[in-house]
Structure formats: C-alpha cells, structure tokens
Copies of this chain bind each other. A is one copy, B any other.
C-alpha cells in the first residue's frame, strides 16, 4: 500500500548549524562548527544551511558568519546556504561567497511582528526587494512561509494566506518554496491539504518542508509528505533546535531519525546516519546537554561512545 507511493530518493537538507546552533546560549567556537560541518559533509550530506547573516547583537551565535564561511571545506557537490532577513543580509551573504540564500515571510501577523518587527505588507514588500537583490547577485533563492501550519500566538493560520505568499514567491521567480512548521503545529491532515494546493502551484519548482517535532508528529508528517510527493526535507543533527527555555524540548526533526525512517522505507538519501549521530553526540558533550533525537542515544547505548572525537566537557 505504501511502498508504491513512495519516492526512490529524498534530499535531506541539514539546517542544524543555523536553526540548531542559534538557540544555544553557549557560543560554539567557529573551529568546532567547521569541524562538525566537515563531518556532516563526510557523512554524505550535500546541502547544509550553515549560518544566518543577521544582527550579531541579536543572535551572538551567528556573529561569526563570514569567518565560518571562509573556513568551510570547498566541495563541488555540496551546497552551503545562509538565512537572510533583509537586504543587508543578502549583501553580506553575497560578499561572503554564499550563492544559496533563504528568505522567509510569516503567514501569521502576530508572529511576523514579534519575530521580524514588520507587518505582513512590509514583510511582503521587503521580500520582493530581497529577491530582486539576490537575483542581481545570481544567488539561488529558497523562499519560506513561516507558521504555514499554525502559529503559537494566533492558533490556526489562514491557508489562503500561505497560498497567497507562495503565489507571490513563484511570480517573482524563486528557485524553491518551503513550508515551515515553525512551532510544530503541522498534522497529517493539514499537511495533506496544504501540499495538495501548493505542489500543483509550484509545478517544477521544488516544494520543500521544514518540520519541527514540538508535539511529536515530526516523522508522521514526513511520512505523510512523502506519500504526497515531497522529496526535500530540512532536518537538524540530533534534533537540535527548539526552545532554549525548556530542557529537552523538541526542535527540528532529527537528521538521523529522518534518515532511519527513509532507509526503512527503502528510500535513498546518500547519508550515513551513524556518522551524523557522532556529530550530534560530540555537540551534546560540548554543550553538556541532550538533544531530542532518538537515534544518537540508541546508537550510544549500543556503542558507548566508540569513535567519537573527545571534546572538553562543560561544567
């Protein structure tokens, strides 16, 4: 029943170095970030969101964006992308040599105001300017809709708003659209409904998904999306991300767990989940905490740390 409706190959996009790291109050040294990204590339991941070009006063963890990009291993088949929130971010990314950028608009007015300090129409107008600017730098543009499946402040989000944003993005010639489940409110039925609208609109432009596991439905939503034609998923090593104020709160869907699911379904990813798990465990040691992913802990249980580079334990 399932097997015949599943894709043969799926693209797993690692967003941990941006969406995972940004929530950590402990600054991760640039060198360790670079080592982790190198190891992720070594694990077969070919698309990584490495940083965001944002105000370093607001997000100190990302203050090393330019330095980090300079130190990244250059690999022909690997795409490094950066998140940008405004024209200055696009310019910084271009100057740093990042040719793939992600822009986003929230489908929720309240979230947009709180997160980006802009009304919907301001965000919309700014996004258009950013797309034009990024195009002038020949950057590839992924355009996201935050809170596509609900908003922690507003609850339900109007699906028509999500579709309106996607339509505008497509009209302005973005290279990919991404539906973001910013606060983990997607459910299989919501997902199926929205994908049924967006995929036909996007046509040959890829529809990607950025899922969180806040309420435990992350992988259920992955499976739903697979059965509905999605082949691009953002994931974060070890399930990093989420809320800095709640210990063990779940963030993004974990890279390893997602790869484990995909493998179990006979879907090719090109990724060695054990190598990713070693990166997660290394960061867990460094940050002296446990992330929400399952595979790395099950792996640790079986192998008790064998092959993981030793790092200094934080007090």
Binding site for B on A (CB under 8 A): 1-3, 184, 187-190, 192, 213-217, 219-220, 222-224, 227-228, 243, 245-250, 254, 257, 260-261, 264-266, 290, 293-295, 297-298, 300-301
Contacts and interface: CB of A to CB of B under 8 A. Distances in A.
Contacts of A261: 187, 216-217, 220
B265 A301 contact: no
Given A187-B264, A261-B217, A243 B294 contact: no
The 8 closest A-B pairs by CB, nearest first: A187-B264, A216-B294, A216-B257, A219-B220, A246-B301, A220-B223, A220-B220, A215-B294
25 contacts: A2-B224, A3-B189, A184-B298, A187-B264, A188-B223, A188-B264, A189-B265, A189-B266, A215-B294, A215-B298, A216-B254, A216-B260, A216-B293, A217-B219, A217-B260, A219-B219, A219-B220, A220-B222, A220-B223, A223-B224, A243-B301, A246-B301, A248-B297, A249-B297, A249-B298
A249 B248 CA distance: 12
How many copies of this chain does one complex carry?
2
Contacts of A247: 290
A19 B295 CA distance: 22
Given A219-B219, A246-B301, A2 B214 contact: no
Given A187-B265, A214-B294, A192 B260 contact: no
Contacts of A243: 301
Given A216-B254, A216-B295, 16 more contacts: A1-B192, A1-B227, A2-B188, A3-B189, A188-B264, A189-B265, A190-B264, A215-B260, A216-B261, A216-B294, A217-B219, A217-B260, A220-B220, A249-B298, A249-B301, A250-B297
A2 B248 contact: no
Contacts of A215: 257, 260, 294-295, 298
A3 B228 CA distance: 13
A25 B69 CA distance: 48
Contacts of A301: 243, 245-246, 249
Given A298-B249, A300-B246, A264 B189 contact: yes
B293 A2 contact: no
A264 B2 contact: no
A208 to B, nearest CB: 20
A215 B254 CA distance: 11
A264 B191 CA distance: 11
A301 B247 CA distance: 10
A188 B227 CA distance: 12
B192 A264 contact: no
Which of A213, A220, A246 has the most chain B CB within a 10 Å cutoff? Answer: A220
A265 B189 CA distance: 6
B250 A294 contact: yes
A78 to B, nearest CB: 26
A229 to B, nearest CB: 11
